[in-house]
């Protein structure tokens, strides 16, 4: 039959992966008709995705086709921060950047005066960290310590377990007890929550440990609400009860752990009473939780990064990571714990990022304290910053310092972005970035065990370019002749995994592109440490860590209380009596999606949850406008008085774009640049404030 050309439409379904900073890394199916993406859904065949996307990415086409996209390269015409730009060509933009970078590199300050600033706007290995790293390494720019999210927890977990490896998320449906610790899974780890729900239907008990009565905590059988930053004490208290009551797997401890006797002596003082006092909960809650944990099996912990954004976050995670070994929970695939599965993938970072190209021995700047780094006297000062995959003006702590840093007239600022964010307003040169539908990438996950390919679904919109291509072009402009700067995205994707590793044997980039996803070669009923084999120096779960102690850290997991709390800083707590946390809002992903009308509408306006016991003495009623402040700054929100926040804690779901709030500020006006005990991480949730009615 002849083809009727008048109605023929080219229609295809493209396999991709969700790029967002979320443990679920969903497999996507995008329907493309005549070059335009018309539908997006979760791949039904991918076990971790099971055909379901979260509400944000189910509307990803609104993001891709938004009329708010940065359409072409631009140059600043207004004052810094004003956000006024005029169109220029890519040629002009690249020439400007190359000339400024070359000038700085040739000056006495040298290339170290240039700083890349990026995080996880996209988690694909190519667009997250490949050609960009090669470029800045070869340039000799300052290095960036990418610590804003997970550094403390990762370091604490690694001290006990050895690497970011843990339970298979698919096994949680077989658990009998699940502790959801510092995680609002419904918002931030939806596909785990589905498994937890299934476990619940099968009779499992779910316990949330969170100072906030999140949507997740509300749906668990039990909710334990410690004060922020006190989880380390809670974990030590649980150990105390487990040991005192003999609720231990002695055989597992003898064979597969290191330092039990020292740990037992160490936690002797952590009685339920002392623990309860440190955490602001009841002693009976500590004992009951320990008894559940010691007697119901398989017992699983899903711990997330929400509990480690405090002074003692690293040690708290260490203590939690020790719990499964004490009760032998690792013996069962549905027992143990998961923080991140990222370490299960044999990523070839060396091949992707080429640290061997580094010129000299450049300094490292911690991204958390970017406010200080841009403002304090440094030798050399930061004279240029290139921001991509991140929105520091909105997400970095102590906004007043960050904004003042970016406002420096003498700072040359490049921002490569999908949207004109708070940070983009400060750019001298603003470059348009592609979305996930417009470029190629290869993905691992930090919540499941599949590798994924992201095929390009549509042509880039406007003049947008992928991160990789911009750095390829900049490298050529700067005269970098190493062949690695000519690698295509396909070349890069082929080198992302170490080919000699058995976990990825049997598939390659070509099969991954075709099939979209592939499970790593780990058993289906995966129990990574059933027979020990921890990737620590001793091969055991290390209650006592010699490697930490060699670095001047405590050999045993300590309780390090919050830096800003009544027990540690009474004078400060008298002026600012409320502990303040700003966890993710369900409809935003950090500051991503916080500019798109549908999601902003869902969230309404910036809110502050307060307990009636804290609202009443301040004369604050539900719906009042309130000001939240401390010595670092202030912002306003609408009070929501109820039982979501526990007494003594104020909660502002985040991260709003500053320029889209009524007062032009967000929660980071009050947060601190101080760092964690391990990993030099951020302490967003270690923050005291006072709240007044406006």
Ligand X SMILES: Nc1nc2c(c(=O)[nH]1)N[C@H]1C(S)=C(S)[C@@H](COP(=O)(O)OP(=O)(O)OC[C@H]3O[C@@H](n4cnc5c(=O)[nH]c(N)nc54)[C@H](O)[C@@H]3O)O[C@H]1N2
212 binds, among Mo ion, ligand X, ligand SF4, none (CB under 5 to 8 A by kind): ligand X
Alpha-carbon gap, residue 127 to 348, rounded angstroms: 15
> Is 355 within 8 Å of 549 (Cβ atoms)?
no
Which residues on neighbouring strands pair with residue 253, listed in sequence order? none
- Determine, following the binding rule CB under 6 A, whether residue 212 of this chain makes contact with ligand X: yes
- Determine, following the binding rule CB under 6 A, whether residue 182 of this chain makes contact with ligand X: yes
Among 181, 293, 497, 656, binds ligand X (CB under 6 A): 181
- Determine, following the binding rule CB under 6 A, whether residue 384 of this chain makes contact with ligand SF4: no
181 binds, among ligand SF4, ligand X, Mo ion, none (CB under 5 to 8 A by kind): ligand X
> Is 522 within 8 Å of 168 (Cβ atoms)?
yes
Order of strands, edge to edge, in the sheet holding 222-224? 222-224, 205-209, 177-181, 299-303, 336-338
Query: C-beta of 158: minimal distance to Mo ion in Å?
Result: 17
Query: C-beta of 445: minimal distance to ligand SF4 in Å?
Result: 8
Nearer to Mo ion, 149 or 234 (CB): 149
Binding mask 465-484 for ligand SF4 (x = CB under 6 A): --------------------
- Determine, following the binding rule CB under 6 A, whether residue 187 of this chain makes contact with ligand X: yes
DSSP assignment of 129-143 equals: SSHHHHHHHHHTPPE
Among 25, 30, 112, 122, binds ligand X (CB under 6 A): 122
- Determine, following the binding rule CB under 5 A, whether residue 394 of this chain makes contact with Mo ion: no
Query: C-beta of 370: minimal distance to ligand X in Å?
Result: 11
SS3 of residue 460 by DSSP: coil
Q: Point out which span in 25-33, 146-154, 328-336, 644-652 binds Mo ion (CB under 5 A).
A: 146-154
Query: C-beta of 182: minimal distance to Mo ion in Å?
Result: 12
Q: Point out which span in 143-151, 218-226, 334-342, 655-663 binds Mo ion (CB under 5 A).
A: 143-151
> Is 607 within 8 Å of 644 (Cβ atoms)?
no
57 binds, among ligand X, Mo ion, ligand SF4, none (CB under 5 to 8 A by kind): ligand SF4
Q: Point out which span in 74-82, 156-164, 299-307, 346-354 binds ligand X (CB under 6 A).
A: 299-307
Q: Point out which span in 182-190, 281-289, 291-299, 538-546 binds ligand X (CB under 6 A).
A: 182-190
Residues 3-22 that bind ligand SF4 (CB under 6 A): 18, 20, 22
| Nearest of 440, 436, 416 to residue 428 by alpha carbon | 416
Provide the pairing of β-strand 114-118 with 85-87. unpaired
Neighbours of 323 (CB within 10 A): 25
Tell whether omega for the bond before 380 is within 30 degrees of 0, i.e. cis. Answer: yes
Tell whether omega for the bond before 655 is within 30 degrees of 0, i.e. cis. Answer: yes
| Nearest of 228, 250, 398 to residue 316 by alpha carbon | 228
Alpha-carbon gap, residue 149 to 666, rounded angstroms: 18
Which residues on neighbouring strands pair with residue 465, listed in sequence order? 433
Among 413, 667, 669, 691, binds ligand X (CB under 6 A): 667
18 binds, among Mo ion, ligand SF4, ligand X, none (CB under 5 to 8 A by kind): ligand SF4
Provide the pairing of β-strand 633-641 with 688-693. unpaired
Query: C-beta of 443: minimal distance to ligand SF4 in Å?
Result: 10
Alpha-carbon gap, residue 547 to 94, rounded angstroms: 45
Binding mask 445-484 for ligand X (x = CB under 6 A): ----------------------x-----------------
Query: C-beta of 424: minimal distance to Mo ion in Å?
Result: 20
Alpha-carbon gap, residue 547 to 340, rounded angstroms: 21
Among 14, 25, 300, 331, binds ligand SF4 (CB under 6 A): 25
Paired tokens of 203: 């009779």
172 binds, among ligand X, Mo ion, ligand SF4, none (CB under 5 to 8 A by kind): none
SS3 of residue 528 by DSSP: coil
Among 130, 344, 456, 668, binds ligand X (CB under 6 A): 668
Query: C-beta of 469: minimal distance to ligand SF4 in Å?
Result: 24
- Determine, following the binding rule CB under 6 A, whether residue 419 of this chain makes contact with ligand X: yes
| Nearest of 664, 659, 620 to residue 642 by alpha carbon | 620
Nearer to ligand SF4, 136 or 450 (CB): 450
| Nearest of 81, 134, 137, 133 to residue 415 by alpha carbon | 81
Q: Judged by CB under 6 A, how many residues of this single chain contact ligand X? A: 59
Alpha-carbon gap, residue 482 to 12, rounded angstroms: 38
Q: Is 3 exposed, middle or buried (0-12, 13-18, 19+ CB in 10 A)?
A: exposed
Provide the pairing of β-strand 625-630 with 517-519. unpaired
- Determine, following the binding rule CB under 6 A, whether residue 341 of this chain makes contact with ligand SF4: no
Among 190, 299, 368, 449, binds ligand SF4 (CB under 6 A): 190
Long-range contact set of residues 369-372: C-beta below 8 Å, sequence gap at least 24: 369/673, 369/675, 370/117, 370/396, 370/402, 370/405, 371/396, 371/397, 371/398, 371/399, 371/400, 371/401, 371/402, 371/404, 371/405, 371/673, 372/401, 372/673
The residue nearest Mo ion at its CB is 149
- Determine, following the binding rule CB under 6 A, whether residue 24 of this chain makes contact with ligand SF4: yes
Nearer to ligand X, 116 or 294 (CB): 116
Among 37, 43, 53, 352, binds ligand SF4 (CB under 6 A): 53
- Determine, following the binding rule CB under 6 A, whether residue 586 of this chain makes contact with ligand SF4: no
Among 37, 105, 143, 149, binds Mo ion (CB under 5 A): 149
Neighbours of 596 (CB within 10 A): 19
Nearer to Mo ion, 188 or 420 (CB): 188
Alpha-carbon gap, residue 294 to 326, rounded angstroms: 9
> Is 235 within 8 Å of 558 (Cβ atoms)?
no
Query: C-beta of 473: minimal distance to ligand SF4 in Å?
Result: 29
Query: C-beta of 257: minimal distance to ligand X in Å?
Result: 24
Question: Which residues in this chain contact ligand SF4 in the complex, by CB under 6 A?
Answer: 18, 20, 22, 24-26, 53-54, 56-57, 190
Question: Which residues in this chain contact ligand X in the complex, by CB under 6 A?
Answer: 21-22, 119-122, 127, 148-150, 181-184, 187-189, 209-212, 214, 228-229, 231, 304-307, 310, 388-391, 395, 416-419, 421, 433, 467, 581-584, 586, 588-592, 654-655, 667-668, 671, 684-685
């Amino acid at each position: 039959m002849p083809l009727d050309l008048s109605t023929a439409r080219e229609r295809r379904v493209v396999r991709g992966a969700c790029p967002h900073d979320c443990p679920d890394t969903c497999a996507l199916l995008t329907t493309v008709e005549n070059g335009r993406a018309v539908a997006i859904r979760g791949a039904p065949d991918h076990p971790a995705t099971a055909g379901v996307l979260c509400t944000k990415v189910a509307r990803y086409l609104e993001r891709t086709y938004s009329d708010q996209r940065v359409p072409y390269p631009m140059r600043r015409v207004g004052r810094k921060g004003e956000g006024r730009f005029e169109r220029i060509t890519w040629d002009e933009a690249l020439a400007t950047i190359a000339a400024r970078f070359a000038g700085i590199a040739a000056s006495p300050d040298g290339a170290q005066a240039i700083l890349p600033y990026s995080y996880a706007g996209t988690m694909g290995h190519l667009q997250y960290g490949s050609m960009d790293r090669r470029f800045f390494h070869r340039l000799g720019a300052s290095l960036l310590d990418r610590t804003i999210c997970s550094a403390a927890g990762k370091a604490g977990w690694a001290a006990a377990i050895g690497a970011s490896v843990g339970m298979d998320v698919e096994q949680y449906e077989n658990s009998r007890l699940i502790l959801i610790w510092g995680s609002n899974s419904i918002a931030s780890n939806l596909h785990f929550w589905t498994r937890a729900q299934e476990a619940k239907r099968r009779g499992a008990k779910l316990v949330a440990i969170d100072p906030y009565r999140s949507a997740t905590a509300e749906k668990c059988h039990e909710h334990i609400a410690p004060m922020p930053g006190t989880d380390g004490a809670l974990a030590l208290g649980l150990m105390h009860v487990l040991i005192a009551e003999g609720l231990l797997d002695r055989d597992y401890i003898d064979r597969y752990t290191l330092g039990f006797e020292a740990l037992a002596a160490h936690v002797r003082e952590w009685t339920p009473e002392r623990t309860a006092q440190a955490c602001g909960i009841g002693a009976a809650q500590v004992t009951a939780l320990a008894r559940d944990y010691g007697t119901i099996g398989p017992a699983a912990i899903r711990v997330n990064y929400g509990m480690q954004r405090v002074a003692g976050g690293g040690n708290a995670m260490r203590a939690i990571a020790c719990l499964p070994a004490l009760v032998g929970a690792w013996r069962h695939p549905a027992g143990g714990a998961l923080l991140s599965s990222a370490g299960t993938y044999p990523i070839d970072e060396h091949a992707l990022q080429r640290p061997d190209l580094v010129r000299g021995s450049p300094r490292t700047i911690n991204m958390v304290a970017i406010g200080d780094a841009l403002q304090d006297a440094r030798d050399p000062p930061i004279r240029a910053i290139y921001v991509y995959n991140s929105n520091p003006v909105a997400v970095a702590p102590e906004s007043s310092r960050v904004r003042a840093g970016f406002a420096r007239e003498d700072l040359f600022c490049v921002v490569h972005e999908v949207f004109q964010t708070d940070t983009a307003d400060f750019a001298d040169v603003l470059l348009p970035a592609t979305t996930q539908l417009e470029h190629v990438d290869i993905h691992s996950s930090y919540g499941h065990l599949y590798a994924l390919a992201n095929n390009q679904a549509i042509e880039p919109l406007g003049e947008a370019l992928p991160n990789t291509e911009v750095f390829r072009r900049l490298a050529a402009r700067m005269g970098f002749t190493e062949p690695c700067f000519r690698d295509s995205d396909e070349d890069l994707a082929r080198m992302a995994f170490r080919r000699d590793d058995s976990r990825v044997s049997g598939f390659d980039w070509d099969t991954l592109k075709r099939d979209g996803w592939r499970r790593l070669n780990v058993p289906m009923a995966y129990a990574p440490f059933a027979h020990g084999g921890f990737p620590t120096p001793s091969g055991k779960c290390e209650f006592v860590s010699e490697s930490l102690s060699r670095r001047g850290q405590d050999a045993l997991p300590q309780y390090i209380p919050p830096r800003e709390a009544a027990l540690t800083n009474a004078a400060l707590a008298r002026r600012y009596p409320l502990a303040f946390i700003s966890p993710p809002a369900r409809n935003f992903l950090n500051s991503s999606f916080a500019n798109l009308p549908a999601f902003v509408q869902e969230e309404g306006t910036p809110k502050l949850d307060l307990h009636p016991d804290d609202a009443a003495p301040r004369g604050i009623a539900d719906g009042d406008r309130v000001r939240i402040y401390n010595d670092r700054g202030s912002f306003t929100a609408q009070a929501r008085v109820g039982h979501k926040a526990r007494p003594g804690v104020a909660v502002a779901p985040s991260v709003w774009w500053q320029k889209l709030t009524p007062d032009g500020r967000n929660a980071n006006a009050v947060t601190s640049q101080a760092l964690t005990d391990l990993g030099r991480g951020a302490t967003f949730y270690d923050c005291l404030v006072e709240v007044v009615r406006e």
